[in-house]
Amino acid sequence: MNIRNNYLIKSNHALPEIKKRLKQNTLEKNKLTREKTDKAFIGQITQTGFVIIASTTLGVVCAVTGRFNPNPGNTKAKGTEIAIETRTQSVFFIMIAVWFALMMIMAVIVPLVKDAERQFSAIPLLVIISGVVVLRILLHYLYIKARNNAVKKLETLFTAN
């Protein structure tokens, strides 16, 4: 159910330089939660890759996982490829599902309890389903904005001289 996209960034820098740049621009934390910082990213950096979010307000919507591939195809070259996968954080889909379930319960049970004699109407259900669709579209839009911002920042970080 998560939205996912894959990217490949090619850098002329050696792997130690890539890691150094990423560490200088990342507030290292175990959990991908937003925190006020002057760093560009928040997350974890390991020997083989990283899992981060952008430190912007929308950054929490898009988690970025990266894997380092030093010297791709040529052992004499000093360049590094960084394979990146972006995805929405599962918590947003869980929140939408819980909200949808609660609204469905309210739309079905409340009218039945309130007035047992009244005939059932599907209009409240259609309104709730429409609301869920709008929330899902909004989440996708926010993900795209956060993803584009994070990938652009990473490309600049990894390819700048």
pLDDT digits (tens, 9 = 90+) for 74-128: 555 678 999 999 999 888 878 888 888 888 787 777 766 766 666 767 777 788 8
Q: Which H helix or E strand runs over 96?
A: helix 90-114
pTM of the model: 0.80
**28: helix, strand or coil:** strand
Sheet (strand 49-54) strand order:
4-11, 80-88, 62-70, 49-54, 41-45, 26-28
DSSP assignment of 45-56: E-SSEEEEEESS
